[in-house]
């Protein structure tokens, strides 16, 4: 099983959480023959990760103007414009859903979507307004980093630490455990927030860079699967290297 198959990458795919969302999106886009890469939230500029990046208020028209089988154009990045000096805005969920439908009609392998933000942290629980996941999403991939285990539940390592504290029942500042990470990934107030009922959910434990982290990731995976049957599979990986470590079901 390769990364694309393990992560159920097909159709409209939304990546949420923390600990490697953007890296995962870029790696998956590179593995597909034809992928659209976009966002429903702000995303740092990423021209080096796509063959062509288009700023457009009408992404569907931009997609339809792209040669469907010319490798020079794929993967294709689509964004509405700049939010600030370093980040693009994202599209609303309805626009991304329409874009994904148009992409499927043109035999695009997947529309890959950054659906929330984490400011480079390794774990998060979402705020009330996030993640922004279209109702037609085929796959949702909640991400967390194995590296966060053993670190304090604080702003240096966790995005919205107070939210993670509420989900896990731990105090801000407490040392995070594999159990805490599993709790967040499996929670309706964490990795499962705003996941459409028909979507496949594959949790991703990223940054599994050595044997100790592999054991940590396996513990997290077991904890996720023990907590919920909503997650079809847990994948452990080194997404920066495009390397699948293990899968758990």
The pLDDT value recorded for residue 45 is: 95
The pLDDT value recorded for residue 72 is: 82
What domains does the chain contain, in order, with CATH numbers? Answer: 3-248 (3.40.50)
For 105, list phi and psi in degrees, rounded to 5. -65, -25
SS3 of the chain: helix, strand, coil, percent, to 5: 30, 25, 45
Q: Which residues pair with 95 in a beta bridge?
A: none
Q: What is the pTM of this model?
A: 0.97
CA 117 to chain centre: 10
First to last CA, the chain: 13
- Six-digit token string for 233: 């599979």
Q: How many CB atoms lie within 10 A of CB 68?
A: 14
The pLDDT value recorded for residue 100 is: 98
The pLDDT value recorded for residue 68 is: 76
pLDDT digit of tens for each residue in the chain (249 aa)?
899 999 999 999 999 999 999 999 999 999 999 999 999 999 999 999 999 999 999 999 999 998 777 878 899 999 999 999 999 999 999 999 999 999 999 999 999 999 999 999 999 999 999 999 999 999 999 999 999 999 999 999 999 999 999 999 999 999 999 999 999 999 999 999 999 999 999 999 999 999 999 999 999 999 999 999 999 999 999 999 999 999 999
Burial letters for 105-122: b for 16+ Cβ neighbours within 10 Å, e otherwise?
eeebbbbbbbbbbbeebb
DSSP state for residue 201 in the 8-state scheme: E
Q: How far apart are CA 8 and CA 24, in angstroms?
A: 13
The pLDDT value recorded for residue 165 is: 98
């Amino acid at each position: 099983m390769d990364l694309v198959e393990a992560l159920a990458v097909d159709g409209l795919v939304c990546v949420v959480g923390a600990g490697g969302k953007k890296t995962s999106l870029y790696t998956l886009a590179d593995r597909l023959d034809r992928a659209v890469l976009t966002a429903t939230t702000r995303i740092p500029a990423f021209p080096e990760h796509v063959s062509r990046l288009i700023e457009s208020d009408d992404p569907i028209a931009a997609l339809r103007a792209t040669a469907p089988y010319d490798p020079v154009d794929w993967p294709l990045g689509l964004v509405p414009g700049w939010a600030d000096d370093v980040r693009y805005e994202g599209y609303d969920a309805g626009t991304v859903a329409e874009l994904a439908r148009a992409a499927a009609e043109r035999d695009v392998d997947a529309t890959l979507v950054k659906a929330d933000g984490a400011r480079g942290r390794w774990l998060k629980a979402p705020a009330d307004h996030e993640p922004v996941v279209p109702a037609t999403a085929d796959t949702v991939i909640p991400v967390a980093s194995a590296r966060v285990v053993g670190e304090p539940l604080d702003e240096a390592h966790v995005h919205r630490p107070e939210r993670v504290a509420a989900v896990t029942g731990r105090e801000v500042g407490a040392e995070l455990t594999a159990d805490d990470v599993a709790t967040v990934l499996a929670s309706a107030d964490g990795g499962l927030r705003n996941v459409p009922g028909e979507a496949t959910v594959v949790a991703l434990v990223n940054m599994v860079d050595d044997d100790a982290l592999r054991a940590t990731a396996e513990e997290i995976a077991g904890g996720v699967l023990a907590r919920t049957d909503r997650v079809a599979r847990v994948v452990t990986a080194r997404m920066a290297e495009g390397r699948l470590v293990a899968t758990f079901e």
